[in-house]
Structure 1
């Protein structure tokens, strides 16, 4: 049973529904526990399982009896939590029903020690903690009251198939025009939630300097992500970005797309994908862009350098607009280089970051327990 009692919507919340179909293909009977009416619950239903639901995180602890009954009725032996706050319930269930194995994935990358009495009790019941990168595993080893043998690095995986090119050239050009990209321009995109910490402002400064550094280069910036709180973004931050675009004189050269359901197709419309996040615990957007065969520029921080090798992308300092401008100029001017990097990135994604391999490793950990 995957437990995700979150009313938000991001990579963490999307994870259970993303992997459950593959778990089922590999022979596991999968269940879910979510907040009633949450997008997590809806996503689980869409993935083919009707989740058990509770009305709120606080009341979940009061529902421990019915949850235990559900676990017994379905013969569930493994619990997998995805938010640290959900460990209260997971650890309680494991305490009340000896034999349950409790797993936890640290999707966020812990930033402060968790070694108080409560944490020693809760994490002490965790059979295996999954770190989603080597960068986060190093933090996990320092922060959690667990021995190294119970903290395993397990890269996330995605379904690669949707990212394979599907558009013919006419459809691709039509989509580029819809995004405001002039004919003959290099489309430079930044996908992801519009929230602080994702590097949008440094990227915009980089575009402004690109205009001066490569005055001969025709380009257009595309900001992909929801514009409202309901779409997962910070509205005050979006307003600040719009103001910055105006201040930098980029109104005619940057498009805000809003939330889109067709991200794999948007990748087809882009020539360069930028991910300037300052401290990514993994970098799912990087992997998605790699799977799409795109030339990627990522921030030289957090876990992103683990994902991008020299022959499959470029790195730029997360706080240096000049570095971003230089990287965008290099890739913008060289279509053959973009193609080589994109092909290498796709191959690396196939080798390292497919959901089939990820779930196989996950299932092996479940089985060993």
Structure 2
């Protein structure tokens, strides 16, 4: 456990005012008092102590030139940490293979691979890992989990964890040596990004864990990451409409990566016996959208599907409302009609708001079309299907005060 820093904020405020008046020695004292916290803020994002030290130096240089812009001297430390985080994110973003940069390349990389090719080659190797190995890799390298914590979660010994990690590294070496894939580099990059729902200390993972608790009786399933267009057309032959081809055209432009979880969840229901209660999470992809402070090409969703007798949407909405209340009792919800014409005979958009902020759409809720339910193999005269999908990043940003979605992968709760 690290030592928690205790600050005399009155002293920092007095030093700040002195530094704003040109007292260089006062600023030197500020650096001395806050360096550990500023470096720690950067290290959470870049993981490398040397990089964090460089970022801290740049933070103090920038801050000194902008001291006059700081209106509240008492907020100095938070201001410095914010500058450090932004600089760290810029450095990390400059390396497009952000998750790959968390790995110890000296343990994995083959020496005959050119240095410029290491990042992309490792990303391709990561995409080829199986589900459990991929999760182990992400938690150890990106999440910073210790072998003791991994052992407790996996219910095996630390020695077994270390052996598993060694096997994963060996598979990555072999994957690098082959470094071939039919996927475009941009798709590989998105696929290699970590699944934040596997990291409960990340805001996205924390929201997923709370969501999952409210739907405790639902079976968690792993959904296909790519859409099978032939299977989809077969299901929607009698239930779809013109928007199906529009959906498939958009999916084809991103190598059939899923655009949301609703479609793979619908496919997952085929062949199951009622009642069906499924829950899932995972990354979804919108590579046609332009990334911004509120949009990502790869982001996380949660989805629930319930098929049974006498159901209505509100039987999913009740636990969702409790989920929001658990996270923040002051958060307000607004529900209004929305047209999910591909799937639903009636649909609803759920928006959320905290005091002083604008309404933000966070989820969709709906009752599936009777024709679609029949196409899935269920008796639509006796059964009803309802579903709910949640955007995890959007809600996490509101709950944890994150103003730029692009830095959410480096945040901790």
Normalising by structure 1, what TM-score?
0.28
Higher helix share: 2
Structure (1 or 2) with the larger CA radius of gyration: 2
